Amino acid sequence: MNKSVKLFSLSMLLAIFSSYSQDNNEVSENGSLFHKKEVLPINLRYSNKDIKKETNDSTYIITYLKFEDPGAGLDSIEVRLRKRGNFRLKNCFYAPIKIKIKKKAAKNTLFEGHKNLKLVLPCLVERDRNDNILKEYLAYKLYEVISPFHFKTRLLEISYEEERAKKIKLHNIRGFLVEDDKNVAKRLGGKVIDANTHPLNQASLESVRNAFFQYMIGNTDFSTAYLHNCKLILLEDRIIPVPYDFDMAGLVNTSYATVSQINDQKLNIEEVTQRVYRGFKRNPRIYMQVREEFLENQSSIMNVLKEGKDMFESDRQFATTIKYIDEFFEILEDDKKFQKNILDVARIK
């Protein structure tokens, strides 16, 4: 993390966006892409090697996304693909993808209203790749229970035709789509902020909800100050953190996950499955309010996981997922554990 990055104050950010008109505070009604819960079967064909080549952000590969819309049959649209991300791009076999869709191509399809989408794919060609993707997808669904300020997602069954010289290698893999941050902001009636701002200038309640969630899934690979795996949305006079990318979380526990480094210093844990609370100190009443919210939503949170049981390829992976979240609630329910693991370790800087 770059220590030289300047953090904007709340007053500066509000001044920057003071001209933002309330006329834009309309929630758009997009296509049904994220309104349906069914797994969406899609087909893509492109060269993994070509998409990983060193190019700029404006270089796209043109291909067709074929999909099966439940109740509407088979369809396809022209899309543009490019690589994205840093760690996964360098360390994974499957390159993470950004999908760009022209308005005309998306019209009257599932994808209407979506110009940009993130496609999350497995990292490596390994046994647990599909269950890892499922667990990361479920993390997004858990946050939907916790906060109204979240990214929408759609689980996919992907038939990926990898172009290899004159041959095609078929990969049947799982993945999911994540809506674009500008769509999130428009849906909520706000605006995306690209400038860094200190976490204590961000909305207290949403910041603590986010911190509890990150602790619940065992994720330390984020920064609300430096916009690492987090977007900020300005909504009226509040700056709200919206998290994404959870593949390094203990809940997912991928084979390639590494303990995060803060200011080039490794956290005092050995495994990503070890939880560390990374939230900042706030008014104690907010902690207690969020604690009660999580406990009241415990059944809903566990049901999100249980509803995904039949999609797990490994019973062991499902069992460890349930156990991991159960352990979080054991901490919340115990006053001493809650004090020791959350209140006493909240950050002051």
Query: Residue 118 pairs with which residues in a beta bridge?
Result: 98, 178
User: Which is nearest to 135 in space by CA: 117, 149, 112, 153?
Assistant: 153
Total number of domains constituting the chain? 1
Q: Is the residue at 238 inside a domain?
A: no
Lowest mean pLDDT among 13-27, 217-231, 267-281: 13-27
> Using CA atoms, how far apart are residues 16 and 201, in angstroms rounded to an integer?
15
State the chain's mean pLDDT as an integer: 90
Per-residue pLDDT tens digits for 162-185? 999 889 999 999 999 999 999 999
pLDDT band (50, 70, 90) for residue 266: confident
Q: Is the residue at 262 inside a domain?
A: no
Position of tokens 């080549």?
53
Taking residues 190-194, what's their average pLDDT?
95
pLDDT at 21 over 50: no
pLDDT at 3 over 50: no
Q: What is the pLDDT of residue 265?
A: 65
Q: Is the residue at 252 inside a domain?
A: no
Per-residue pLDDT tens digits for 212-256? 999 999 999 999 999 999 999 999 999 999 999 999 999 999 999
> Using CA atoms, how far apart are residues 241 and 237, in angstroms rounded to an integer?
13
Per-residue pLDDT tens digits for 54-72? 677 778 999 999 999 877 7
Q: What is the pLDDT of residue 26?
A: 35
> Using CA atoms, how far apart are residues 88 and 96, in angstroms rounded to an integer?
7
In this structure, how many other beta carbons lie within 10 angstroms of the beta carbon of residue 7? 14
Could you tell me the residue range of the domain that residue 145 belongs to?
34-181
> Using CA atoms, how far apart are residues 212 and 279, in angstroms rounded to an integer?
8
Q: Is the residue at 72 inside a domain?
A: yes
Strand 40-46 and strand 153-164: pairing?
A: parallel
User: Which is nearest to 246 in space by CA: 133, 337, 345, 113?
Assistant: 133
Share of the chain above pLDDT 70, in %: 90
pLDDT at 211 over 80: yes
Q: What is the pLDDT of residue 16?
A: 43
Q: Is the residue at 173 inside a domain?
A: yes
φ, ψ of residue 165 in degrees (nearest 5): 55, -115
Q: What is the pLDDT of residue 56?
A: 73
Q: How far is CA 224 from CA 44, 187, 219, 238, in A?
A: 34, 21, 13, 14
Q: Is the residue at 144 inside a domain?
A: yes
Lowest mean pLDDT among 30-34, 48-52, 92-96, 261-265: 261-265
Query: Residue 174 pairs with which residues in a beta bridge?
Result: 157
> Using CA atoms, how far apart are residues 179 and 117, in angstroms rounded to an integer?
5
pTM for the whole structure: 0.91
Per-residue pLDDT tens digits for 113-171? 999 999 999 999 999 999 999 999 999 999 999 999 999 999 999 999 999 988 999 99
At 237, list the tokens.
């006079």
> Using CA atoms, how far apart are residues 38 and 18, in angstroms rounded to an integer?
41
Residue bearing the bigger pLDDT, 89 or 77: 77
Q: How far is CA 294 from CA 5, 251, 344, in A?
A: 34, 17, 19
Q: What is the pLDDT of residue 298?
A: 98
Taking residues 283-310, what's their average pLDDT?
97
> Using CA atoms, how far apart are residues 245 and 219, in angstroms rounded to an integer?
10
Side-chain half-sphere CA neighbours of 152 within 13 A: 20
- DSSP secondary structure, 96-150, as one string: PEEEE--HHHHTTSTTTT-SEEEEE--SSSSTTHHHHHHHHHHHHHHHHHH-SS-
Taking residues 293-301, what's their average pLDDT?
98
Name the strand (E) or helix (H) holding 347: none
Q: Is the residue at 155 inside a domain?
A: yes
Q: How far is CA 205 from CA 73, 104, 287, 331, in A?
A: 43, 40, 8, 20
- DSSP secondary structure, 231-243, as one string: EEEEETTEEEEEE
Q: Is the residue at 50 inside a domain?
A: yes
> Using CA atoms, how far apart are residues 82 and 109, in angstroms rounded to an integer?
22
